[in-house]
Structure 1
Amino acid sequence: MLNILYFGDHRHFSTAFHRAKALERIGHKILRYHNPEETLPGYFKSAVMSAINFRSGYRLLQRHVQQDLEQIVQSGIKPDVIWVDNGEFFGKKCLQILKKFNCPIILYSIDDPTGKRDGRRFDSFLAAIKLYDLIAVVRKETEEECKLLGAKQVLRVMRSYDEVAHAPYENAAEIPLNFKSDVAFIGTWMRNENRDEFIKVLIDAGISVSIWGDRWPKSQHFELLKPYYRGSNLGGKDYIAAIQGAKICLGLLSKGNRDLHTTRSMEVPYAGGLLCAERTSEHTALYNDGTEAVFWNDAHECAAICKKLLAGDQLGHIKKAGMKKVRDLKLGNEDICKLILEKGLSNAI
């Protein structure tokens, strides 16, 4: 059993928390689960300051985060390993403080810290990159770029579902009617990603699309999309209900983040949904197209596939096959966390 000091990711709180619980399920002890944002002075948490911090690489926060970490060091806890999710708050001096624990420090990121989409957001992390004993990432480009920046050890993994949090309803009849749909998209509206344009093509083709997610009223097409908008981001059993209750679930990538698969690529089949996503090298390596998931090259092909599936009798077969495949691939949090820990401890310190 390892004693783990865990620093959660404030932007992906639920996924970070699920990973911490997965580490406990495989036999380790979380000495402390710490979200660095929670201990910041209140004025740093305003919308204006959050935007400034994001755009400046969290430079203004460094003194406060360093003081916070010093207090944790002085608390007397003795971790065997430190796990950092994302790491955007932690600059070089922060890592030097954590080094006082004299144990391996692992960073895991599902973001694209070496990419260009988020400007200077990851400047503090990039300044500290050489001090991590292992950096686990989910993109080939990120893997290569971290190595070029001097990272000691880089491991590329696939994203993961959570074995407990994303488990489907045992009795599908218990799924509330307000989460039933023909085609569902669960995700945030993002500037310059054209997700609204994509869904508009499906609606224009006569397909009923249910949308859950934040910031959709910002879309220039929101008046058209409004009748299909079912509410803000989902979590917990509501998230599972919307996946399992849909006949088809759309998996849209973030091009700005250089995605070739997303967490939805794993969570949807695991939770009993039918994944309908862009045809990429990683998606086609994961699932057999047409039998375990369905893939498309553009919105018009997606619309044609959805129409065919909704009119046919293959929905249940594909859902069942996709669910079996993602389990066979062992891409749950427990398996991925175990792999990261083994790699991080093998050559550390």
Structure 2
Amino acid sequence: MLNILYFGDNWNYSTAYHRASALERIGHQVTHYHAEEGLPKFFKSSLIKAINFRSGYRLVQPFIQRKLKEILQSGIKPDVIWVDNGEFFGKRCLQILKQFNCPVILYSIDDPTGKRDGRRFDSLLGAITLYDAIAVVRNKTADDFKAMGAKKLIRVMMSYDEIAHAPYLYEEEIPVEFKSEVTFIGTWMRNENRDEFLNVLIDAGISVSIWGDRWAKSQHFSKLEPYYRGTSIGGRDYVAAIQGAKICLGLLSKGNRDLHTTRSMEVPYAGGLLCAERTSEHMELYQEGTEAVFWEDAHECAALCKKLLAESKIETIKKAGMKKVRTLKLGNEDICKLILEKGLSTAT
């Protein structure tokens, strides 16, 4: 059993919480801190959060450093420190963490060297060389970090959570408000053209249910609004929306250089039918047409959805996808085991 000092951040707090819980389930003792805990109220406003995001969290560095010093002075003796996503932790923060005299591992699910989020990761990028090991979910991120001098890189796939994303045992348990034909669960993002993609499906006569934040910002929202079911959902509602849909769309973030996403694992695990872009990584994960379905563009996606909805293969594909994702061992427990095994075998 390891004594793990675990730092989650605000952006991925729910997924960070799931990974911390997974570490506990596999037998480790986890002391968990939220990176924003203890920040002055000033930093909680939407405006200041936006400024922090766009400036690489420079303004919060003195406060985060002070908190880390308090933890250091508390006398806690971790065997390993796990930093999840790391956008709040700059170079000086890592220098403080190194004083615990144990390996420090970063798990980076985002794309810090990509272009989508501007300067959001400036603080993190200044600290890359101080981590003993870094786990990433993109080959391009791994290449960039290696060029920046990262000590040890571990390439993993994104993951589902064995507990949080477990399907309902019986279909009748799924609340009727979460049942749909085709669903997309995700945020509207500028320059990602997700709204235009969904418009193609709507024009093809497909009833699309949309869950997520910021969709009112879309210039096409007046057309999308009748299909909009509400803001972002989590917990059992998230599982219900996946399992209760006949088809679940998996849209990638081009700005994040995605070839797969967490949805690629969560949807089949939760009992949904994954309908996603045909990428090299999706093709490696699932057999097309039997374990998941793939498309090249919105028009092919629309035709594929209409064909599936008219046939009787949906339940067969759902069951095959659910079986396959479990054999791949891509749950949080397995991924966390892998990161610790590889990270601690070489971290100094």
Task: Compute the TM-score of the two structures, normalised by the length of structure 2.
Answer: 0.99
The alignment partner of 1:233 has SS state of coil
> Shift of residue 119 of structure 1?
1.4
- State the match for 1:300 in structure 2: 299
Deviations 1:222-258 (A, max 9, x none): 1111111000111111000000000000000000000
1:140 aligns with 2:139: yes
Give 4+ residue runs of structure 1 displaced > 3 Å after superposition.
Answer: none
SS of the equivalent of 1:10 reads: coil
Aligned mates of 1:307, 1:182 — CA distance in 2: 10
What is the SS of the residue equivalent to 2:325?
helix
Task: Name the residue aligned to 2:2.
Answer: 2
Partner of 2:185: 186
Aligned ranges 1:106-185 → 2 under 5 Å: 106-185=105-184
TM superposition shift of 1:9: 2.0
Retained in 1: the 8 A contact 2:105–2:133? yes
Task: Tell me if the contact between 2:152 and 2:347 (Cα under 8 Å) persists in the aligned partners.
Answer: no
User: Which residue of 1 is the match for residue 80 of structure 2?
Assistant: 81
- How far has the Cα of 1:117 moved from its partner? 1.4
Counterparts of 2:279 and 2:189, CA distance in 1: 20
Cα distance in 2 for residues equivalent to 1:47 and 1:285:
40
Name the aligned partner's letter for residue 314 of structure 1: K
* Alignment root-mean-square deviation, CA: 0.7
How far 1:173 sits from its partner (Å)?
1.1
SS of residue paired to 1:39: coil
Structure 2 letter corresponding to 1:146: F
Q: Distance in 1 between matches of 2:120 and 2:41?
A: 20
2:238 matched residue in structure 1: 239
Tell me, in whole angstroms, the C-alpha distance in 1 between the residues paired with 2:287 and 2:346: 36
Q: Give the Cα separation in 2 of the matches to 1:62 and 1:27.
A: 33
Aligned counterpart, 1:268: 267
Aligned equivalent of 1:346: 345
Question: Is residue 2:89 matched to residue 1:90?
Answer: yes
* CA displacement at 1:115 relative to structure 2: 1.1
Specify the SS of the correspondent of 1:38.
coil
Counterpart residue type for residue 93 of structure 1: R
Which residue of structure 1 aligns with residue 19 of structure 2?
19
Question: How many residues of Structure 1 are paired with residues of Structure 2 in the alignment?
Answer: 348
C-alpha contact (below 8 Å) 2:286/2:292 kept by paired residues: yes
Between the aligned partners of 2:226 and 2:334, the Cα distance in structure 1 is 41
Identity %: 76
Kindly provide the amino acid, as one letter, of the partner of residue 160 in structure 2. Y
Whole-Å separation in 1 of the counterparts to 2:215 and 2:287 = 32
Gaps spanning 5+ residues in structure 1: where? none
Question: Which stretches in structure 2 are left out of the alignment for 5+ residues?
Answer: none
Match of 1:52 in 2: 51
